[in-house]
Structure 1
Amino acid sequence: MDMSWALIGSITDIPRRGARCVETPRGKVAVFRTAEDRIFAIEDHCPHKGGPLSQGIVHGAAVTCPLHNWVISLETGKALGADEGSVRTIPVKVEGDQLFIALASEAKAHRAA
């Protein structure tokens, strides 16, 4: 898949166990930093009622939605436990302390059902 990378800032712009939002041509993306400094990016809306995942609580490699406590895997974008649904994950790369997210070409973009 053809990808271009967009610089979104430094790893230190995101607090540990926190997130920040990035506007992309395809909508808001939440970029998360875990306690172990792992970086993930997913769509910033819960598959349940559209809650802002960027405002949720990060624990391990998951985030809990602030509206109805759904837990979403940062690795797969899938709801965990008994809940069903998913959000699109976005590739991220770290070079030094700089963060980049992938901006996939629209023609080949994959969207989770």
Structure 2
Amino acid sequence: MSLPNETFYPVGSLDQFMKQVGRVIDLNGVEIAVFQTSDGNVFAIKNESPHPKGGPLAEGMVSGHYLYDPLHDWKIDLETGNVQAPDHGQVQVYPVKIEDGQVWVATSEFLTV
């Protein structure tokens, strides 16, 4: 889904994103965790846990299209950013596209890269 004012930025080649391992990218001070799942899909979320105590998400474990928060073990849907019950919350997700082996992440935030 694309939003008005959304701009895609190149963040690396697909082979730079290991399957089931998060990689942090920085788009003008915004830390984004990018994950390639075992089925080859790529997802991008803000690298910030929605847990009240916060923490990074890039080091979490990926299973299917879910991420397990490394500090709080919350299960987060990588497609929607929704935290799964019994916990609740949501992580900012960013649209991703892959063109010619290049991974692009979109944001509507003002960025200069």
**TM-score of the pair, normalised by structure 2:** 0.88
Inter-partner Cα distance in structure 2 for 1:98 and 1:76: 22
What is the match of residue 18 of structure 1? Answer: 21
SS in 2 for 1:12: helix
* Amino acid of the structure 2 residue aligned with 1:81: A
2:49 to 34, 46, 54: 46
Inter-partner Cα distance in structure 2 for 1:25 and 1:90: 15
Superposed counterparts of 1:17-96, under 5 Å: 17-25=20-28, 27-48=30-51, 49-96=53-100
Q: Which runs of 5+ in 1 are unaligned?
A: 107-113
Establish whether residue 2 from structure 1 lines up as the match of residue 5 from structure 2. yes
How many residues align? The count is 106
Inter-partner Cα distance in structure 1 for 2:56 and 2:76: 12
More helix by share: 1
SS in 2 for 1:53: coil
Change (3 A) 1:86 1:97: same
* Amino acid of the structure 2 residue aligned with 1:89: V
Inter-partner Cα distance in structure 1 for 2:75 and 2:8: 28
For structure 1, which segment, 68-77 or 24-33, has the greater mean C-alpha deviation from structure 2 after superposition? 24-33
Q: Which runs of 5+ in 2 are unaligned?
A: none
Shift of 1:40: 0.4
Inter-partner Cα distance in structure 1 for 2:109 and 2:26: 16
Q: Percent identity?
A: 36
Q: Which runs of 4+ in 1 moved over 6 A?
A: none
Shift of 1:103: 2.6
* Amino acid of the structure 2 residue aligned with 1:57: M
